[in-house]
């Protein structure tokens, strides 16, 4: 899933993540510990942790449901600039919704291995939270979503010494 969001961060024109200009971070820790974390690294796309569960109505019909989130943040130099903070919140919400729209498109296509987890993605389940200041004057939006795919779980005798 993280490779997918890194790909989106590279392809989205407003983010333009690359090895030389880092805007995607695999975790909050990576974002906070990145040496290049300065104003040129914004907007930043930061992955949240992943939680999952296997569910289904019977043993033949299982799904692997995953819950995760992504933060879209931008740094502001003047914490007293209420109009600037409101603008950043609107910009980051628009960016987050652009990512949700791309996820919906990719879920409908579901052609590549890196988007297989989107098989069960429903954009109507996305929740968002506006926040800030965090991380030294950063403001933005966090989206939370559920996605998943059909779970292929079967017992394999060859994996066991029984």
Q: Where are the domains of the chain?
A: 2-153
Question: Which stretches of the chain are DSSP H helices?
Answer: 2-11, 28-33, 82-109
Q: Model confidence at 113, in pLDDT bands (50, 70, 90)?
A: low
At residue 14, the pLDDT reads 94
Cβ–Cβ contacts within 10 Å for residue 98, how many? 16
The CATH architecture that domain 2-153 belongs to is 2-Layer Sandwich (3.30)
Tell whether the model's pLDDT for residue 37 goes beyond 60. no
- Which pTM does this prediction carry? 0.86
Question: Which stretches of 62-132 are DSSP H helices?
Answer: 82-109
pLDDT in tens, 116-129: 788 888 899 999 99
CA dist 7 and 10 (Å) reads 5
pLDDT in tens, 118-161: 888 889 999 999 999 988 889 999 999 998 877 878 888 899 99
DSSP 8-state class, residue 46: E
């Amino acid at each position: 899933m993280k490779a997918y969001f890194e790909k989106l961060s590279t392809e989205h024109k407003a983010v333009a993540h690359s090895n030389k200009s880092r805007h995607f971070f695999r975790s909050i820790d990576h974002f906070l510990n990145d040496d290049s974390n300065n104003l040129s690294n914004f907007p930043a796309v930061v992955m949240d942790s992943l939680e999952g569960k296997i569910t289904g109505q019977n043993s033949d019909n299982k799904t692997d449901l995953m819950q995760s989130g992504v933060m879209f943040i931008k740094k502001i130099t003047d914490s007293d600039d209420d109009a600037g903070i409101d603008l950043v919140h609107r910009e980051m919400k628009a960016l987050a919704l652009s990512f949700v729209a791309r996820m919906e498109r990719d879920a409908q296509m579901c052609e590549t291995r890196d988007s297989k987890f989107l098989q069960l993605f429903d954009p109507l389940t996305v929740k968002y939270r506006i926040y800030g200041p965090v991380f030294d004057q950063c403001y933005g939006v966090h989206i939370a979503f559920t996605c998943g795919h059909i779970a292929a779980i079967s017992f394999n005798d060859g994996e066991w010494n029984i």
